[in-house]
Amino acid sequence: MQKLKSESGILRKKFSSLQKEMEDQKEGVRKQQAEVTKLNAVIRDMEKDIVVLKKEIQERDDTIQDKVAAAFSHFTSTNCVLRTSKRTQTPTKYIPLHSLFR
C-alpha cells in the first residue's frame, strides 16, 4: 500500500510537471504565432513599397524615353533642315575674319 501511495505521488508530480511544460509550450506557440503575424504584416508593407517603387521607376523610364525621343526627333529635324538649306543656299563668299573687326 505504501508503495502505491509513493508511486501515486510520483505520478502526480510527473503529471503536474507535464502540464506545466505543456502550458509553457502553448505560450511559446502563441508568441511564435504573434511574431509570424507581425512579420507577415511587415512583408505585406514591403511588397506594397516594392510595387510603388517599381511604378515610380517605370514612370521615370518612360519620361527618360520620351525626352530621348524628343531630343532625337529635334536633332533629326534640325539635321534635315540644315541639309536642305545647305543644298538650296548659294555658296557664300569667303570673308576674312580681320575684315569683320574694322
Residue 6 inside a domain? The answer is yes
Over the stretch 65-91, which tens digit does the pLDDT of each residue have?
998 888 888 777 776 766 776 666 555
- Cell 511574431 appears where? 35
Residue 98 inside a domain? The answer is no
Owning domain of residue 61: 2-77
Say how many domains are in the chain: 1
| Res 86: pLDDT | 62
Over the stretch 13-57, which tens digit does the pLDDT of each residue have?
999 999 999 999 999 999 999 999 999 999 999 999 999 999 999
Q: What is the DSSP string of 23-84?
A: HHHHHHHHHHHHHHHHHHHHHHHHHHHHHHHHHHHHHHHHHHHHHHHHHHHHHHHHHHHHHH
What cell does 68 get?
A: 530621348
